[in-house]
Copies of this chain bind each other. A is one copy, B any other.
Amino acid sequence: MNRKIPVVKEILGANDQVAAENRRAFEETGVLAVNLMASPGAGKTSLILATAGRLPDSIRPGVIEGDIASSIDADTIAAHGIPVVQINTGGACHLDAPMIRSALPHLDLRAIDILFIENVGNLICPADFALGSRLNVVLASVAEGHDKPYKYPGIFTVADVVLLNKADLMAVFEFDLDSFRRGVTMLRPQAPIFVLSCRSGEGVDSWVQWLIAQR
């Protein structure tokens, strides 16, 4: 048993060490790096596009796309003229710091002010791996139901901000916003919650203003 524990520690330690290097690279180049975590289909790519489209010209976005397979999202981002790198994890259920490090040489960090890192769609595993980002953003969706903070507490406990997408469908899904808010606040009292819809645009401005103020 003694042999196994050091191996696990070593792996976690290595990730944290690379995450610290990434963080330094972001700080030195004035990049606000954002780790965007959500279930599959919550609207991560839509959020990035809605946010990037509302930034003033002086704040330049960049994107790292994490997916198990495909470049569907990166193609969408690139079509909007935003610098983007695709990471295919090849099966891994989350991004890690070495993956981010390997993506950085493909981005001109001095030409990016806010770097959105779209994690693999997963409400569990990404919470355990630091990437070197400064903000953890957890994006939930009305379509998933209001009980997610109670069922997947771990990821909410590491959130610096919680976004609730697809708010235009609140009535359709009989979403209990009070219950959702109570769950988030119980787990992470300091995290602001923004209710928005990337499709209708409602609520997106408030989130973007908050984000800009974090720079």
Contact = CB atoms under 8 A, between A and B. Distances in A.
Contacts of A39: 39-41, 121, 144
Copy tally for this chain in the complex stands at 2
A141 to B, nearest CB: 7
A5 interface: no
Contacts of A109: none
B121 A93 contact: no
A165 to B, nearest CB: 11
A80 interface: no
Interface in A153-182: 153-154, 166, 169, 172
Given A7-B4, A39-B41, A151-B40, A68 B124 contact: yes
Interface string A26-37: 000000000000
A151 B70 contact: yes
Given A39-B41, A93-B125, A68 B154 contact: yes
Contacts of A3: 3
Contact of A72 (B4, B123, B125, B147): B147
Contacts of A125: 93, 122, 124-125
Output the residue of A120, A122, A123, A124 with the most chain B CB within 10 A: A124
Closest 5 CB pairs of A and B: A41-B144, A143-B143, A93-B124, A39-B40, A41-B145
Interface of A: 3-4, 7, 39-41, 67-70, 72-73, 91, 93, 120-125, 141, 143-145, 147-148, 150-154, 166, 169, 172
